[in-house]
Structure formats: C-alpha cells, structure tokens
C-alpha cells in the first residue's frame, strides 16, 4: 500500500472559533459544493436548532420514477442542518466531522413539496455532539424522516 503524500491542511469554511450566526453562515455554507447543488437554503433557527429547506426538483428523484425524492438529498439536508445546530448551540464555529447518522423514513416526501430539515443539538460534550432531527414537507407533526447521530470535534474542543 503506498502512502500518498498528506494533503495540505484543510481550509475551513470559517476560521475556527468564529462566532456562529446560523442565518448568516448558512447562507454562505449552502452557496457552494454539494449543499449549493442541492439548493439548500436557510429557513429558521433557535438556541440549539437550525432549519434548512430543500426545494423539490426532478433531478433529485430516487425511486421508480414516482417523483419521490431519493434519500441521499434528505441525508445531506439533515447532515447540514444538524451540523449547524451544533455550532449554534456552541455559539462558535468548531471544525467537526460526522461520526454516524441514522435516518428512519416514516414516509416518502410528497412530489413537488419543499422539504424542511430541522436539526437539533441536544447534548454537547468537549469532543462529541449528539444530534437529532426531523424532516417534514409541510406539517412538522407528520415527518418524512427522523434522524439521530453524532459529530466529533476535530481541531479542538466544542467548549
């Protein structure tokens, strides 16, 4: 096995430790890359939660031509929303990596409907953040999916 030269240090989206304002930062973070391609946009936030929206489009359909969104975009939506909820709770941008994510699909999102992903950080330790969330397509009481997972701070503690 060859050891390729280590890649140059990652350039973070924000300098680590920057005060995190979800409404501003998510606008920047969802403009480029995968989030930008998906069309993720800021929807709302509170002390320990962030909502992003994922507009329906034909390209994101995953199953049998029924107009049903693939689960990939839902996972990406929830990964981003829960990630931002961690920085929102922590109050600052702390580089971290998703350790695991579990998604339970309650039902298919309705074709044509924008999906709202609400991510919540319910516990923050020095190095691990515990997150959960739901995705819904109009009625938060009738979610499309439930999500639970963890992140790990990679370049210094959350607090």
- Chain residues binding another protein by CB under 8 A are 1, 4, 7, 10-13, 32-38, 58-65, 69-73, 75-77, 79-80, 95, 97-105, 108
Minimum distance, C-beta of residue 82 to another protein, in the bound complex (Å) = 11
> Which C-beta is closer to another protein: that of 47 or that of 99?
99
Residues 124 and 49: their CA atoms lie apart, in Å, by 13
Q: How far is the CB of 139 from another protein (least distance, A)?
A: 21
Distance CA 87, CA 104 (A): 24
Q: Which is nearer to another protein, 49 or 93 (CB)?
A: 93
State the minimum distance, in angstroms, from the CB of residue 14 to another protein. Answer: 10
Contact 124, 151 (CB under 8 A): no
Which residue, 14 or 21, has its beta carbon nearer to another protein?
A: 14
Helix (H) and strand (E) counts in the chain: 3, 8
Residue 106 CB neighbours (<10 A): 13
Minimum Å distance from CB 86 to another protein? 14
Q: Which helix (H) or strand (E) holds 71?
A: helix 71-90
> Least CB distance from residue 2 to another protein, whole Å?
9
- Of 19 and 102, which CB lies nearer to another protein in the complex structure? 102
Q: How many CB atoms lie within 10 A of CB 77?
A: 27
Q: Look up residue 147 and give its two tokens.
A: 């999500």
| CB closer to another protein, 79 vs 137 | 79
């Amino acid at each position: 096995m060859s050891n390729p030269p280590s890649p140059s240090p990652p350039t973070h989206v924000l300098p680590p430790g920057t005060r995190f304002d979800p409404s501003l930062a998510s606008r920047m973070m969802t403009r480029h890359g995968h989030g930008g391609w998906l069309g993720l946009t800021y929807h709302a936030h509170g002390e320990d939660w962030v909502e992003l929206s994922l507009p329906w489009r034909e390209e994101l359909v995953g199953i049998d031509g029924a107009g049903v969104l693939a689960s990939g975009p839902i996972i990406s939506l929830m990964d981003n929303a829960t990630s931002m909820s961690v920085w929102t709770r922590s109050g600052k941008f702390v580089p971290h990596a998703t350790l695991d994510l579990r998604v339970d699909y309650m039902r298919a999102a309705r074709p044509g409907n924008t999906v709202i992903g609400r991510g919540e950080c319910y516990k923050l330790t020095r190095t691990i953040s515990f997150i959960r969330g739901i995705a819904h397509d109009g009625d938060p009481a009738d979610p499309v999916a439930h999500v639970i997972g963890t992140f790990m701070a990679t370049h210094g503690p959350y607090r």
